[in-house]
Amino acid sequence: MFIILTILFPIIAGILASCIKADSFRSLCVRYSLISVVTAILGTALIIRGGEITLFSFSENVTFSFALDNIGRVFLAAVLILYTCTAFYAFEYMKVEEDQPVFFAFFYISLGALIAVCSSANLVTVYFCFEMATLTTVPLVLHEGTKEAVAAGMKYLFYSVGGALMGLFGVFFVYFYGMAGRQFTAGGFLDTSMVSGHETILLIAVFVAIVGFGTKAGMYPMHGWLPTAHPIAPAPASALLSGIIAKAGVIVVIRLVYYSVGADFIRGTWVQYAWMILAMITVFMGSMMAFLEKNMKKRLAYSTVSQISYIMLALSMLTDGGVQGALLHVVSHASSKGCLFLCAGVFIYKLGKRRVDDLVGIGKQMPVVMCCFTAASLSLVGIPPMGGFLSKWVIAASTISNGMGVLSVLPVVILLISAMLTAGYLLPVAFKSFFPGKDAQINTESREPSALMTVPMILLCCVALIMGIFGVTILKSLGF
């Protein structure tokens, strides 16, 4: 029952705290801070102790079950870190926004849904929780209520529902050809006697599902919602959408490929090659679009399209090294990109600046914020000792050793080009903020935000650094 308590606590507490009238926004924030802290404690205890439970059965082989394994532990740690940091940041950012209780209610409901995604024990459960995570995050995009926000929210919803239906197609066939139980099992649970002679239809179903669940991860050609939703949503929501909510698609793909179908069934087939090609296209396209974009939040959104496909590319290798690199990038990207979106929120909140060109010399006003921006940028580019370097190194090493001819080399070339483009769209922003040039008209008045904003950004940078130094050690302790 401890898993259920951890899932339901933020949902119920978030709703109650938002519905019970408070004297001021400050008192509301006290309630929400308690919810965040207690949820973090419960989540940490769940990571340590694990557990499993079956709530009910739809039929003999279709159950609604939860069990936390090591894959779930990695994703749950990323969820807890980013949601906790973002919550305290939002206490400052959202005080000038309207309908704060509505925002925080869905904030904590979506947190519970993501904990459920991480803890799901089979495809039916993870699919249901995946859908709940989608539906409960749409209001975060819609929050401002403008025409643009409604359009962005609807686009996010339509893409997500369309992708989920594609995923459901694959789930149906995997269950049909599965052995009794259908719980997640390392190596998959397919019944080889039933699959024999039906490999083609199952491969088609699996590929459709990968593309469908890849919609949430922003994989081409289903990436269009990301650059639309991120610039419109409040900065705390953007940080969550990019840093961890988009990765709900990643964990479902891992569960489908590695724990339901089995990597051996896909390895060497057209599904693996097509998956790799789509991931490489997305990595390059997202980096190029980010390089050309001038709106900061939209630039970071395109960057997310690219960076999450690093994870998809690593997973498509179908090797232990690929999985290790993917998991390292899950945490390092969540912390780095979450920090960058929080920095972008500070630019909007304190200065009203959204465009990259307007940030020249801003380091004179916000040295702490820009130091965080720079550190997170170095991680995304892949500069040691930050987490992004380690994850990309492991991914590249796994790619080179996969023995797939040109597909052993081409992904590395794409990753290097993407890294150079990432440096091109992030590092000049940091450099010009501190060294604007003699002719630039710079306001040196300090506009540093409060500790509620700066401390979460510093903590996320520290997480990226820790992953760069100890990431492999942490994964090895979990058996990866």
Please give the model's pTM, rounded to 2 decimal places: 0.94
- Pairwise CA distance, residues 383 & 392, whole Å: 10
Task: Please name the residues in contact with 413: beta carbons below 8 A apart, sequence gap of 6 or more.
Answer: none
Q: Which two structure tokens, joined as six digits, stand for 288?
A: 């190029």
Whole-number pLDDT of residue 444: 65
Whole-number pLDDT of residue 177: 87
pLDDT in tens, 120-134: 999 999 999 999 999
Length of the chain: 480
Task: Please name the residues in contact with 328: beta carbons below 8 A apart, sequence gap of 6 or more.
Answer: 387, 390, 391, 394, 467, 471, 472, 475
Q: How far apart are the first and last CA of the chain?
A: 27
pLDDT in tens, 264-294: 999 989 999 999 999 999 999 999 999 999 9
pLDDT exceeds cutoff 80 at 441: no
Whole-number pLDDT of residue 86: 95
- Neighbour count for residue 440 (Cβ, 10 Å): 11
Whole-number pLDDT of residue 376: 95
Band (63; pLDDT cuts 50, 70, 90):
confident
Whole-number pLDDT of residue 179: 77
pLDDT in tens, 219-264: 888 888 888 887 888 999 999 988 899 899 999 999 999 999 999 9
- Pairwise CA distance, residues 165 & 159, whole Å: 10
CB distance 387 to 335 below 8 Å: yes
CB distance 342 to 456 below 8 Å: yes
pLDDT in tens, 391-401: 999 999 988 88
Q: Which two structure tokens, joined as six digits, stand for 291?
A: 């390089």
Supply φ then ψ for residue 294, to 5 degrees. Answer: -105, -20
pLDDT in tens, 318-341: 999 999 999 999 999 999 999 999
Mean pLDDT of all residues in 304-329: 93
Of residues 96 and 136, more confidence is placed in 136
Plot region of 68 (φ>0 → left; ψ -120 to 50 → alpha; else → beta): beta
- Neighbour count for residue 427 (Cβ, 10 Å): 16
Whole-number pLDDT of residue 230: 79
Whole-number pLDDT of residue 440: 63
Of residues 199 and 402, more confidence is placed in 199
Helices and strands, counts by H and E, the chain: 19, 2
Whole-angstrom CA distances from 325 to 81, 119, 358 are 19, 21, 36
3-state class (DSSP) for residue 296: helix
Task: Please name the residues in contact with 333: beta carbons below 8 A apart, sequence gap of 6 or more.
Answer: 243, 307, 308, 310, 311, 380, 388, 391
Q: Which H or E run contains 254?
A: helix 248-256
Whole-number pLDDT of residue 337: 94
For the chain, give the percent of residues with pLDDT over 70: 98
Whole-number pLDDT of residue 56: 81
The closest alpha carbon to 187, from 121, 123, 262, 264, belongs to 262
Whole-angstrom CA distances from 33 to 4, 8, 212, 233, 335 are 21, 17, 35, 22, 20
pLDDT exceeds cutoff 70 at 64: yes
pLDDT in tens, 148-181: 888 888 998 899 889 999 999 999 999 888 876 6
pLDDT exceeds cutoff 80 at 31: yes
pLDDT in tens, 372-424: 999 999 999 999 999 999 999 999 998 888 778 888 889 999 999 999 999 99
